[in-house]
Amino acid sequence: MKQSVSTLSVKRILFMGLVLTLAMGACKSKKKAVQPTPPPAPVEQVVEQAPPPPPARSAEEIAAEKLENSFNAVANAGSLNAADQSIQQTLAMFSNQETPVLIVIHEENGIKDYDEPTTIKRYLEYLKDTKKNLNYISDIRLDANGKVSELELRRK
């Protein structure tokens, strides 16, 4: 069979194109292999900083937390003797047994309405009798000796 010259030249062109393509691909890969690899990026050392210390709590915050715990201890006491002991410990935190306790029953536009004022002694007896602490401390005032001189409560 006789092939035409044009068929041979087309085959030859395709073969040459294939060889040329392979040669170009091989050159690129050699070029990459010859180039030195870039140095690794510098590793940043992470220095752990100690977390900042929590802000110091004020004497009022500490006293309020202790009083909340004391009120719960009186309300949840298992016996009358335990409640009386908790009451005596709580009274020691106050300037006297007649320290006023104000209970906010309503507030609107910054104007507060209070329940009938009571004393800390009567409030603690109330907690002992009802066995429920339905209020939380909203404001506390301390005297120069660090004892509670006034207490404001709100409903939970």
Element (H, E) at 66: helix 59-75
The Cα 151–Cα 132 span in angstroms is: 18
Domains of the chain: 59-155 (3.10.450)
The Cα 67–Cα 89 span in angstroms is: 10
pLDDT digits over 18-40, tens only?
A: 777 776 665 555 555 556 667 77
pLDDT digits over 118-136, tens only?
A: 999 999 999 999 999 999 9
The Cα 103–Cα 111 span in angstroms is: 13
73 band by pLDDT with thresholds 50, 70 and 90: very high
48 band by pLDDT with thresholds 50, 70 and 90: confident
List of residues 6+ apart from 2 with CB closer than 8 A: none
3 band by pLDDT with thresholds 50, 70 and 90: low
C-beta atoms surrounding 7 within 10 Å: 9
